[in-house]
Structure 1
């Protein structure tokens, strides 16, 4: 069958594009019946390949004959779209590894997909990287998408990418950049004067937490106070729940436990009518942990909330989220005198954290040491606390690391180690910016 010059040229262009994307040279497409020069003529549109040659070349570059001939392959496109949809479903259900595999397989055949589907797959791939703890890969992908000229400022996609970037930089301890991205995005929204949406509220809520983690509680409180009335105006339960949730964390960090409990309870009510099991579980973890810090903690209620949270997180949560819940369950068990259970929960938390140098795993190890001391195994408790202190020297200084140092000091103190306790308290003060007198300072006496 004779082909027109434009059709022949199209075949050549698609063949060359796919070959280069596969990292192949023209020699790789040659065979006993197809010379390198013939491949070159096809690619330049000077020769029209036969059906047999088309089939051979299509197999070599990993596409269908239909795509190579016309640039279309409806069956293949449908297959890839279903693969991306499966990735979306797997991501929602917490099967992050399966999600990543589906997105990656779809992107391997990107020439068949339209721009919108490619962006959807790349965004899903970035989210899967984040949930798997591969933050560097997630940040690289998210940044390229966020800065792409095709990303419309103020759109739902733009807001989603900004939120994810803030989260990833926060989790990788780059607190300066996490806040900078959030602040710039909020300024851009203010400039646009757009109607407030759930996505925009989520951006503000994430910025609140970035301030909190950085230790800037005053600014976190200011943003929370600004957003709560706006969240009420939207009428969205998700928006209100997100803002209450992060405002509760700020109140907790400022020592306003009763207010934090009230805000968390309101957030739970908002989220209860959604189908987001992960968010509900995370809120229950926060609520149960806060109850332990109240003046008269209801340990059974706290344990019930945390057990419910852990059940949900086992299905859809990340390993870090499950570990944090295990740490809180360990704290309940310590308070309730169930030291063996506390050791088991704390040990599971450390296994889930994979002993990574992060403040959450340092806290889990401190709870483990406390359980060991209270069970009468002081020697092991001392060794565990010493290990925590070594671990903390490898972790970037934040308010959270200061809180762990304070916790270490309390455990040393209650077990008869005043000098170690004093040193830990001093480290806690130093990490929140309060330093002692310079070495060699002497007191000034008055005559």
Structure 2
């Protein structure tokens, strides 16, 4: 009498599902002791395999005998959940490669995991791709997860994915899509009328950053005012800290250095008790940057803050964050008149830059040229600065490149090259959309006498 799947406890169905997930056919499971036709009978529930056959099949499809027999393998499930938890911890500690490996290993055995754990591992995998600078892979996976019908608008997962997509598109240089995703997500939250959470404020702060990078400073200020008003009505220290931090970036872009300093001071106090040491370090670096640019810069305090931030980011920061910290240390060293330290930090910053925008590297090379000028090596300073000019000439005009052109102009002026300085200033203004007056048309007088 033929047995049914229920009579064989679903062994055949689980075997077929695992085989197909691994891209195997029935021939791949066969051996000298196990024919293809017998494999087919097992999968259709018409034969119950012996313990020896079960062991052989489990090895071929990468599962335990217990899972094939019952659909459960508590030891294996626990092992995989620990891998996912380790991935979470590794990413918090800045070990992004280890995190990606842990998530990927867990997902390779996805049939053992519940839907919630698989989703958690996939989100972790996407965020690991982002931290490692693999933006295309991160965006592709995040988009798939965000568009999944299982992602409920307004939920914590939905907000986390919206934030990550907005941020990834911004860091990949697609500011239009970054803003579009952020605005659409904000409208969704507004329409749902949900209570404000840290995730919601993080979404607004991320959109704020995209406005700021794109140069939409008026729109950024309007959103910053709204977010600050919302944040101050909540008890969330982390949410308020993130909002003040991003509002400070907008204020600094608008030339309001005192306001930027005040906002980062408030953010530092609010985030001081959080367990995210990476964010604390990045905020200290931002505060030091604003301090250096203020009317009365406290350079010693800025250098102390940058040293603290740098130490932490060496442990838990991405290569881009470490490069930024080194660049700021080069800047404060220049301002303190220390060309040796400035050169060392600028060199390390350039060495860390992999996926950073080219304008960031150009900006650091201007710092390198400043350090060379400070050391009295005018020839090297000019050579470095001419390399910067060539690099900038190949980049599209943005607010970022305009700032580098202006810095280059200042240094050309110090070096005594007035025509090069004037050209750099004109490039900076042009990339901000400010064009000079056209040259006057010569007038010709005809002698009628």
Greater shift in the superposed pair: 178-187 or 390-399: 390-399
Total equivalences in the alignment: 444
2:370 aligned with 1:370: yes
In structure 1, what is the Cα distance between the partners aligned to 2:414 and 2:31? Answer: 79
Per the alignment, residue 132 of structure 2 pairs with 132
CA distance in 2, matches of 1:355, 1:194: 37
Whether contact under 8 Å (1:355, 1:361) holds in the other structure is no
Aligned to 2:416: 416
What does 1:145-294 correspond to in 2, within 5 Å? Answer: 145-294=145-294
Change in 2 beyond 3 A, CA 1:246/1:355: closer
Task: Name the CA distance, whole Å, in 1 between partners of 2:383 and 2:23.
Answer: 53
Pairwise CA distance, 1:155:
1.0
Q: Which residue of 2 aligns with 1:112?
A: 112
The separation in 2 between residues aligned to 1:306 and 1:290, in whole angstroms, is: 12
The aligned counterpart of 1:51 is 51
Query: Contact conserved, 2:9 with 2:70, CA < 8 A, in 1?
Result: no
Is the contact between residue 100 and residue 125 of structure 1 (CA under 8 Å) also seen in structure 2?
Answer: yes
Residue-by-residue CA offset, 1:288-315 (whole Å, 9 max, x unaligned): 1111111121111110010011111112
Does the C-alpha gap of structure 1 residues 64 and 295 become closer, same or farther in structure 2, counting only changes over 3 Å?
A: same
User: What displacement does 1:379 show?
Assistant: 2.2
Separation (CA, whole Å) in 1 of partners of 2:276 and 2:357: 30
Match of 2:10 in 1: 10
Q: C-alpha root-mean-square deviation of aligned residues, in Å?
A: 1.9
Q: Which residue number in structure 2 is paired with residue 302 of structure 1? A: 302
CA contact (8 A) 2:133 2:355 kept: no
Q: Tell me the alpha carbon deviations over residues 352-383 of structure 1, each in whole angstroms, 9 at most, x when there is no partner.
A: 11485532222112111111122122222222
CA shift at 1:437, angstroms?
5.4
Report the equivalent of 1:98: 98
Once the two structures are superposed, what CA deviation does each residue of 1:94-124 show, in whole Å capped at 9, x if it has no partner?
A: 1111111110100000000011000000111
Deviation at 1:38, TM superposition (A): 1.9
- The answer for unaligned runs of 5 or more in structure 2 is none
Contact (CA 8 Å) 1:339, 1:374: kept in 2 or not? yes
Q: 1:274 to 1:355 in 2, by over 3 A?
A: closer
Q: Which residue of 2 aligns with 1:32?
A: 32
SS at match of 1:49: coil
- Structure 2 CA distance for partners of 1:11 and 1:92, relative to 1, 3 Å: same
TM-score by length of 2: 0.95
* Structure 1 Cα separation of the partners of residues 356 and 5 of structure 2: 60
Farther-moved stretch of structure 1 (358-367 vs 153-162): 358-367
* Structure 1 stretches of 4+ moved >4 Å: 393-396, 444-447
Which residue of structure 2 lines up, in the alignment, with residue 312 of structure 1? 312
**Displacement after TM superposition at 1:322 (Å):** 1.0
The alpha-carbon deviation at position 43 of structure 1 amounts to: 2.0
Task: Note closer, same or farther for the CA distance 1:393–1:134 as it changes in structure 2 (3 Å cut).
Answer: farther
* Structure 1 residues 297 and 445, CA gap change in structure 2 (3 angstroms): farther
Taking a change above 3 Å as real, the CA distance of residues 355 and 72 of structure 1, as seen in their structure-2 partners, is closer
- Aligned partner of 1:142 in structure 2 is 142
CA contact (8 A) 1:202 1:243 kept: yes
Q: How many Å separate the matches in 2 of 1:32 and 1:396? A: 65
Note closer, same or farther for the CA distance 1:343–1:223 as it changes in structure 2 (3 Å cut).
Answer: same
Equivalent residue, structure 2, for 1:405: 405
Worse overlay, 368-377 or 121-130: 368-377
Hey, what's the Cα distance between the residues in 1 that align with 2:205 and 2:194? Answer: 17
- Shift of the alpha carbon at 1:436? 4.2
The 8 Å contact of residues 320 and 356 in structure 2, kept in 1 or not, is answered as no
In 2, Cα distance between the equivalents of 1:187 and 1:5? 49
Report the TM-score when normalising by structure 1: 0.95
